[in-house]
Structure formats: C-alpha cells, structure tokens
A and B are shown apart, each in its own frame.
Chain A
Amino acid sequence: MLFDILHKFWDSTGFKALLDSFFKVDNPIEILQSPLIMILVSFILLYLAIKKQFEPLLLVPIAFGMLLTNLPMAGLMDNDGLLHYLYMGTKLGIYPPIIFLGVGAMTDFGPLIANPKSVLLGAAAQFGIFFTFIGAVLISKMGIPGIGFTGQEAASIAIIGGADGPTALYLTSQLADHLLGPIAVAAYSYMALVPIIQPPIMRFFTTEEERKVKMEQLRPVSKTEKIIFPIVVATFCILLLPSAAPLVGMLMFGNLVRECGVVERLSNTIQNELTNIVTIFLGITVGATAKAEVFLQGQTIAIIVLGLLAFSVGTATGVLFGKIMHKATGGKVNPLIGAAGVSAVPMAARVVQKEGQKANPSNFLLMHAMGPNVAGVIGSAVAAGILLLFFS
C-alpha cells in the first residue's frame, strides 16, 4: 500500500519525467532535445544576467521563464497554465508596444532635432536587417536538413538587426511566434555584446584620422521643437506606413508625454511602474516559449549566426554611410557615429564615445552619436512596419 502511494507520487513528480527524458529515449539524438539541457541553458543565462550583468532587466525574466517552462509536469504554458494566459499579451502584440511607450518616455530626441542629418545614419544601419533577410532566404534554399525558413520566419530573424528588443518581439509575435524564444535570446544577447561586437568593425572601416575628428557642438533645442517633433513624426510615419502604427504611435506618444511637461505623473508612471510591470510579463512569457523541443533545433543555431550577421552588417553600413557624410561635409562628421544607427540605445552611442576617445582623448561624441542612435529606433520601427506590410 505504502509502496503504491510512493510509486504514484514518484510518477507524478517532475524528477521522474526529467530523468525519463534523458534515459528512456528510443533514439540517442532525442537526448539533445531533453528539457534538462534547456534547464542548463537557463542557468547559464541567469549567470550571464546576474553575474556578468548582460541586459539583466530582460535576461533575468527570460531565463527564469525558460526554466519554468522546461520543468516537466508543471504545465505553466499549457492551455490553462498561468504563463499561457500572461503570454496572450505578447502573442497579441500588446506588451512590446507598451515597452516602446516607455522607450519614448525615456528618450530625448534633442540630439536628433539638433542634427537632422544624423537621421540618415539611422536609416543606413537598417541595411543589416535586409541583408540578413536575404541571408535567411539563401540558407533556406541551400537545402540543409532541419534548417529552412518561411518568408515570415526570415523577416522575424532579420529584424534582430534592428537591435531593438520590443520591435523584434513585436514583429516575431505577429509573424512567427514559435520563434520568439530563440529570437529574443539572440537579440538581447547581441545587444549586451554591442561593446564587443562593434569596435572591431568600427576600426576596420575607419582610419585613425577619421576617428580623431571632433564634431561641432550641437545647437540648443527649444521645448516647442521637442513637443512638435513626436506629433509630426507620428502623423507622418503612420500615414505612410499604417502597419507601423502600434510601434511608432506608442513611441511618439511616450515622448510627447515626456516633453509636453503638463502630465508629469503620467510620464513618471510610464517610465517606471508601467514599463517595469510589462517588462516582467514580456520577459517571463518570451522565455516560456523556449521549450526544449522548439529551442533545441538546428534552426536556433542558424538564428544565432544570422543575428550576429545582422548586427555586424548594420554596424558596417552605418559606419560606411558615416564615411560618405564625412567626405560630403568636408570632414566635419566623425564616421564612428554611424555605428550608433543600429539602435541598441544607449549602449551603441556609448561605444562610439569610447572609440572616439581612444583615438582622440579630447573627443566627445556621445551626444552626436545619440542622434543616429534614436533615429535607428524610428528606422527599425519603420522597417518592421514594411515587413509587416509584406508578410502579415
């Protein structure tokens, strides 16, 4: 009797299911898809987030969501599971635009308004997205077993090059939600690795002389300009690309709330409580989509490689366009600021500042780099709108 109870209890535990997934398999290759491996991956991500502080605000919830979803028998992502209900906010495209609302409320578009030409650097860096899109389609045509992407999947992978978490998650949730896990991990890992990925590319495409260039001080921007900017940009972009409305609309609304100065309470709530709450739900549910059978596929490796390609090409095209502007302006523009066009606010701008200062210790490029940096956010939202137009 007691033995029966113990036996039934053992059968109901996750330990048994976990051990079975590892030891009771028909084909040894199935071991590679064991939840145990995903649990280890989640531990590694937690280590990177907590110890190395790689984008901890998102990586901690993502990694923990990954852990929860891969613990057998818990069923948190089953149809009646807690995380499944919370996941509806991600799947229906609600959380990412709310995060964009927070990004808008935290972003100062002043450097962009002061130096309008830098907006073009934000456009040039989006080339990484479409280069990767072609790359994903090419890989699919190669006929490698287990690796092949539909048009929607290729578009979702390509948007990693936008270096913008909410944009990547929004587009993926709309086009290929089964890839949310790998795409989120790739996007946020690369964003954390911007200080390692970008500098060699920046140095490769520029000369010492170009990196030394000091830029003129930016003009002061009035409050009126800062208030009109989000209204004009939202109206124009949404009329041009209605599919970009959720992202651009929320980004610009958040910015208007910040700049108008009459709704301080709303601005504070958006910047703090609202963004924090939604970050928790978004992170944990995105992590929860990374189930072993979905994540541990050849496709994930391809996504990670393509994501790196997207970031690198975006950085390179941004710097190359910066060089064109350097020549066109008679040496007034430091081409390094083009690298900040990939978004990844404000990390990419900080990298530009550091590299500029390495070449010339009296160089202060931070505010100049913030122009292309925030332009990149608008650029990637526009690019996402176009991809949605084609593939939804």
Chain B
Amino acid sequence: MFNNLTDISIPEALLITVFSMGIVFAALLIIDLILQGFRSLFYKGKRQTKTSKTNVVIKNDKKTMEQDRVTENTDSDEEELVAVIAAALAASLSRPVSDIKINKIRRVGQETSVWSKAGRLEQMN
C-alpha cells in the first residue's frame, strides 16, 4: 500500500492512525447496531409474548388455573433455591448435605448498610 514500508514518514503514520481508528470505530459501531437489533428482535419480543399469554388467560377466564400454576412455580423455585443454598454450604464446608441441618433461611433485604455489605464481602473473600 505504501511505496517504502521500511521508512514510514510521520504524515503517513498519522494517516494510518486516523484511517485505522476510523475503521475500528466503524466496525464496532456496526456491531453495536447489530446488537441493538438483537435487543429489539429477541428481548422485547419475549416481553410481548409474556403479555399476550396473560391476555389469553384473562380472555379464556382461566385465572384460577393460571394462579395455581404460578404458585406451583414459585414453590418449586423456592425449593430449588433451598437446594442451591444447601449445596453451596456443603461445598464450602466440605461436608455432605446430610450432615448439615438448616433451620431457617432468611432473605436479606437489598437495603442493608454499606458497612454490612462490606463485612459480608470480606467474609466471602
């Protein structure tokens, strides 16, 4: 592309820099646009399907059935969460789950003070 690759002048180096950074930005900007397209194609789409499902439920008047299903899902989610916490405890204590007795799992609010969070983080690290 250049006549003498062994001896690049300063203006040539500047030209290469401006051109190359332009291409890098253009390429990544197009990837950005493609990814934004992903968002509108896949993400919003998901939310719309959820809403339309609820609509169908209301239209067909199967509210109770749907509510039951939701409760079941939440229950199984909670059970899953308990299983995950128990497994994590067992792994961290290097003891089998059967040896650990969990009396109570209490959800800690998001609004805890910064000091408590820092203390917890220190414990974890």
**What residues of chain A have their CB less than 8 Å away from a CB belonging to chain B?**
112-113, 116-117, 119-120, 122-123, 126-127, 130-131, 133-134, 137-138, 141, 150-152, 154, 219, 222, 224-225, 228-229, 232-233, 236-237, 240-241, 357, 360-362, 375, 378-379, 382-383, 386-387, 389-391
Mask: chain B, 63-93; 1 = CB below 8 Å from A; 0 = not:
0000000000000000000000000000000
Task: Give the complex CA separation of A112 and B8 in angstroms.
Answer: 36
Determine if B25 and A224 form an interchain contact, defined as CB atoms under 8 angstroms apart: no
Residues of A within 8 A of B31 (CB): 116, 119, 233, 236-237, 375, 378
Contact A386 B20, CB 8 Å, known A117-B32, A119-B28 = yes
- Cβ of B23 under 8 Å from chain A: yes
**Is the contact region of chain A dominated by helix, strand, or loop, or is it mixed?**
helix
Determine if A229 and B23 form an interchain contact, defined as CB atoms under 8 angstroms apart: no
Determine if A224 and B10 form an interchain contact, defined as CB atoms under 8 angstroms apart: no
Residues of B within 8 A of A379 (CB): 24, 28
Q: Pick the contact of B114 from A362, A375, A389 — CB < 8 Å?
A: A362
- Cβ of B16 under 8 Å from chain A: yes
CB of A218, distance to nearest CB on chain B (Å): 11
Identity of the chain B residue whose Cβ is nearest the Cβ of A386 in the assembled complex: B20
**Residues of chain B from 20 to 41 with CB closer than 8 A to chain A in the complex:** 20-21, 23-25, 27-36, 38-39
Task: Supply 21 A–B pairs (Cβ within 8 Å), ascending by A.
Answer: A113-B38, A116-B35, A116-B38, A119-B35, A120-B29, A123-B28, A130-B20, A130-B21, A133-B17, A137-B9, A138-B13, A150-B5, A150-B6, A151-B2, A151-B8, A225-B38, A237-B31, A240-B23, A361-B121, A383-B20, A383-B24
Identity of the chain A residue whose Cβ is nearest the Cβ of B18 in the assembled complex: A130
Task: Give the complex CA separation of A188 and B96 in angstroms.
Answer: 42
Q: Pick the contact of A219 from B23, B29, B43, B121 — CB < 8 Å?
A: B43
Task: Give the complex CA separation of A134 and B34 in angstroms.
Answer: 32
Q: Pick the contact of A116 from B9, B19, B25, B36 — CB < 8 Å?
A: B36
Identity of the chain B residue whose Cβ is nearest the Cβ of A130 in the assembled complex: B17
**Is the contact region of chain B dominated by helix, strand, or loop, or is it mixed?**
helix
Starting from the known contacts A123-B29, A378-B28, A382-B24, 14 additional A-B residue pairs (CB-CB under 8 Å) come to A119-B28, A123-B28, A126-B24, A130-B20, A137-B9, A137-B10, A137-B13, A151-B6, A228-B38, A241-B27, A360-B114, A361-B121, A379-B28, A386-B20
Q: Pick the contact of B8 from A131, A154, A237 — CB < 8 Å?
A: A154
Closest 9 pairs (CB-CB, A-B): A116-B35, A130-B17, A123-B28, A151-B8, A361-B118, A150-B6, A137-B13, A151-B5, A386-B20
Determine if A150 and B25 form an interchain contact, defined as CB atoms under 8 angstroms apart: no
Task: Give the complex CA separation of A151 and B1 in angstroms.
Answer: 12
Determine if A126 and B16 form an interchain contact, defined as CB atoms under 8 angstroms apart: no
Task: Give the complex CA separation of A133 and B42 in angstroms.
Answer: 41
Task: Give the complex CA separation of A126 and B39 in angstroms.
Answer: 26
Task: Give the complex CA separation of A150 and B5 in angstroms.
Answer: 7
Residues of B within 8 A of A122 (CB): 28
Residues of B within 8 A of A141 (CB): 10
Residues of A within 8 A of B34 (CB): 232-233, 236
Residues of B within 8 A of A134 (CB): 10, 13-14, 17
